Amino acid sequence: METRKVQLSGGTTYMISLPKSWAQEHGIDAGSVLSLFPNGDGSLLIDAEVGRSSEERSTTVDVSTDSESSIRQWIYAVHAVGFDTVTLVDRAGHSPEQRAVVEDTVTNLSGFELLEATDTRIQLTNLIDAENVDVRKSALRLRLVILGMHRDAVSAVLDDDDALAQRVIGRDDEADKLFAMVMRHFRRALTNLQEVEKLAYNRDELFEYYYLSRQFERIADHAEKMARFTFDPDATVPGEFTERIEELAERSRRVVNAAADAILADAGIDGATTAFTDRDALMTDIRSLDRELYAHDDTAEAHVVGLLLDSICRTAEYGTNVAGFAIQRVARQSGSPIE
């Protein structure tokens, strides 16, 4: 760290000098333009790379020898780290199967579109600017999606409703799409101060929304997992357990809601502590039902119920992950220990 003394010039302008080595390293000279980003915490961030070229947000990936799965993962990766233009190159020519994979993958990523395709090159481009993105609203939408998925997944298994289960599985793509967008803009904000300014949230807030959305995405995965039990003819739930499972699942969602409110609705410590208290009581009742399964006559049924209870348990745990993070948020905002 270096310190500089503020000087007054002309009676109206405050000035400080820049470290010479830093200026030379970044090509700053007389007449160079710097971007200044004042923060509410008293810090002032200086960006020396205001003139970044578009090429720095463009990349080319050689997928000549990659499998279809690898191509899909490449697209997810370049979207997540923030590239605006991506060119996929296959010197031997893209097969119809490769093109189908690219088109299918792009439909699951907000903003990415297939711009141009030739025999050897497929170009993707991003059409959504950060100014048109509200990360908090995306997290709110994701909460609605995953809680609906969770509720419907449990109902589908208990009622043996294949159509409802299929809808749950289909909505997992929507959850993944929302999470991918939150992750993309959070990752871009780590290295681009202009992105932070456009998003209108500071980096602490963006990390909170990213972490919250990550827990939501995991809950969506468990909802999909539960829904798939509906298609297994051997995965039946005894009638004697259905009401209790439904009640436990509802309580797990209440844990998630209380925890999420602590961040999304500024419920603070009260919402977070409620989530922990409710989680502890829920775990006690889940363990009680789990012990009863040891005496159940049909081991296949007991196994399915055990897997459902595990997903319900993990849902509540993801909720308390959010609650713990919410307490950290209050501590950060208060600037003093919580009594």
Q: What is the 3-state secondary structure (H, E, C) of 109-126?
A: CCCEEEEEECCCEEEEEE
Other CB atoms closer than 10 Å to residue 304's CB: what's the count? Answer: 22
Q: Which residue bears the tokens 């995991």?
A: 218
C-beta separation of 180 from 108 below 8 A: yes
CATH H-level, domain 132-334: superfamily: Phosphate transport system protein phou homolog 2; domain 2 (1.20.58.220)
* Alpha-helical regions (H) of the chain: 20-25, 68-80, 96-106, 135-159, 162-191, 193-199, 203-228, 239-264, 268-293, 299-334
Query: In Å, how far from its chain's centre is CA 10?
Result: 50
Q: Kindly report the pTM of this predicted structure.
A: 0.83
Q: Which residues of 160-181 are buried (b: 16+ CB within 10 A; e: fewer)?
A: ebeebbebbbebbebbbbbbbb
Give ∠ CA 13-15-16 in degrees, rounded to 5: 170
C-beta separation of 275 from 262 below 8 A: yes
Non-local CB neighbours of 3 within 8 Å, separated by 6+ positions: none
Token pair, residue 37, equals 């980003």
Tens digit of each residue's pLDDT (9 = 90 or more) over 239-286: 889 999 999 999 999 999 999 998 998 877 888 999 999 999 999 999
Map out the domains of the chain as residue ranges. 7-47, 54-130, 132-334
Supply φ then ψ for residue 77, to 5 degrees: -65, -45
Token pair, residue 201, equals 């949230």
Residue 315 DSSP label: H
d(CA 332, CA 203): 13
Tens digit of each residue's pLDDT (9 = 90 or more) over 123-175: 999 998 888 899 999 999 999 999 999 999 999 999 999 999 999 999 999 99
Q: Which of 187, 220, 210 is nearest to 139 (CA)?
A: 210
C-beta separation of 44 from 36 below 8 A: yes
Please report the pLDDT score of residue 244 as a whole number.
Answer: 95
Tens digit of each residue's pLDDT (9 = 90 or more) over 295-336: 777 878 888 899 999 999 999 999 999 999 989 888 877 754
Token pair, residue 299, equals 């081991």
d(CA 325, CA 276): 12
Token pair, residue 284, equals 């006690």
Tens digit of each residue's pLDDT (9 = 90 or more) over 161-198: 999 999 999 999 999 999 999 999 999 988 887 888 88
Report the relative pairing of strands 58-62 and 85-89 from DSSP bridges.
parallel
Token pair, residue 207, equals 């990390």
C-beta separation of 313 from 286 below 8 A: yes
Query: In Å, how far from its chain's centre is CA 40?
Result: 26
Q: Which CATH class is domain 54-130?
A: alpha beta
If DSSP codes are grouped into helix, strand and coil, which group holds residue 86?
Answer: strand
Residue 15, pLDDT above cutoff 60: yes
Please state the rounded mean pLDDT for residues 55-84: 89
Please state the rounded mean pLDDT for residues 87-107: 92
Report the chain's mean pLDDT, rounded to a whole number: 88
Please state the rounded mean pLDDT for residues 63-83: 92
